[in-house]
Amino acid sequence: MREHGASPREPRLLPWSGTGGKPCYLITDDHGGPVSRLADTTESVQLGMGAELLAHARGLLPDAPPGELRYLAECLTDALADALRVAESRGRRLEHSR
């Protein structure tokens, strides 16, 4: 329960999109709820996949044929979008925890 006069918590940007690519937010007072834990796990997986994809790209790029480069560029674009969403969400939570 919120104390009288306390401001509501900032909604958390979740690491997945809704219908039509719209952002999804979580509003809760529970820091360890099931959706928060799922979001934490998803963020960790997304960042790990991005790191693995980057390592793969660095090894593949020097000799890659055009078809593979297009696929790699699409995957890197998705991974970057995920990483930016995680960074935005974590940045918002850091700003509001001060």
Which residues is 13 bridged to in the sheet?
Answer: 25
Q: CB burial class (10 A; 0-12, 13-18, 19+) of residue 54?
A: middle
**Residue 25: closest CA among 33, 15, 34:** 15
Q: How far apart are CA 49 and CA 69, in angstroms?
A: 18
- Tens digit of pLDDT per residue, the chain (98 long)? 444 444 457 788 898 988 998 999 998 776 678 998 999 999 989 888 888 888 888 888 888 888 888 888 889 988 998 898 888 888 777 676 66
